[in-house]
Amino acid sequence: MNTHNPSFGRLLILLFLLLVTSGCSSGMTPSSADSDGSTAKSAEEPPGYVLADDTLSNLQLDDPTVPVYDALTIEERRERSLPTRMPALTPFHEGKIAYLTFDDGPDDKNTPAILDILRENHVPATFYVTGQHAQLHPEVLRRIFEEHHAIGNHSFSHNYKTLYASPAAFLSDMQKTDAVIREIIGVRPLILRAPGGVPGHFTASYPPALADAGYSEHDWNVSSADAAPGHPTAQDFIDNIDGQTNQKDFVIILMHCSEGHEETVKALPEILHILKEKGFTFGVITPMTPQP
């Protein structure tokens, strides 16, 4: 082969240019694909909750598994002349639904264990937390939120004497807890549960005060009795819930997830099994959840 031929030299140059061009082109393709991929990955996923709009007009949902929160505090709404009182909502009555609720947490032992069981069984639940426990275990509160369970307000200290001195005292305590929760997860709940329940604690002046502030309170119609004296066992809780959920299509079940409730953790897998066998699906408490 005559490598000194001018034509051969031009051929080598042409081949070199083709190789360079091909290399640049193949180098750009993965970059472009990576860009497309990162764009797809960075696209916001659904947050797993509904954030109340300024007018509180988006709280009537068709899915009982989606939690509801507000980005604004009550005082911020009032400062901006936005409504705090919720519009009339139609209670959600479709299907056979069990609302599991866990009070008094979060702690760093039983609440995570309960979350593990719920995740394994693909079951949503509602956690009514105290401000004190949220401050002690913010990482557990964030996990509840990130795993798309509902978070409700259960007062700051759970102190009956302070809470039930007056409606104003009750609301002040709840707003203190709202601030703690929002500091940790960026939003605040619209749902609350009165410690000890409404009967025997609320006078006639409490419900209007809560309605003006935009809170939705829910007690329960099924109790595990896991806070009863006498050291009840997991089987007691299972039997209680089994017996109280017959002939019902709508249940709000009271349990606890704080310190000392290891027996509740033990009972939970069988409770879920029983409820599923009875045909229940599971939801989270929101302002449209029926009253028990």
Give burial (CB, 10 Å; 0-12/13-18/19+) of 168.
Answer: exposed
Q: CA torsion sign, 238 to 239 to 244 to 247? A: positive
Q: Is residue 163 included in any domain, yes or no?
A: yes
Query: How many Å apart are CA 39 and CA 44, to the nearest integer?
Result: 10
Q: Is residue 74 included in any domain, yes or no?
A: yes
pTM: 0.85
Pairing of β 150-153 and β 126-129:
parallel
Q: Give φ, ψ of 171 to 5 degrees.
A: -65, -35
Give me the domain span that covers residue 183: 50-283
Helix, strand or coil, per DSSP, at residue 79: helix
201: tokens are 């604690």
Q: Is residue 27 included in any domain, yes or no?
A: no
Q: Is residue 68 included in any domain, yes or no?
A: yes
Q: Is residue 22 included in any domain, yes or no?
A: no
Q: Is residue 97 included in any domain, yes or no?
A: yes
Helix, strand or coil, per DSSP, at residue 256: strand
> Domain tally for the chain?
1
Q: CA torsion sign, 276 to 262 to 284 to 214? A: positive
Q: Is residue 42 included in any domain, yes or no?
A: no
Q: Is residue 36 included in any domain, yes or no?
A: no
Query: How many Å apart are CA 179 and CA 188, to the nearest integer?
Result: 7
Looking at residue 211, which CATH number applies to its domain? 3.20.20.370
pLDDT, tens digit only, all 292 positions of the chain: 454 555 545 544 554 444 444 444 433 333 333 334 333 333 455 679 999 999 999 999 999 999 999 999 999 999 999 999 999 999 999 999 999 999 999 999 999 999 999 999 999 999 999 999 999 999 999 999 999 999 999 999 999 999 999 999 999 999 999 999 999 999 999 999 999 999 999 999 999 999 999 999 999 999 999 999 998 999 999 999 999 999 999 999 999 999 999 999 999 999 999 999 999 999 999 999 999 9
Helix, strand or coil, per DSSP, at residue 128: strand
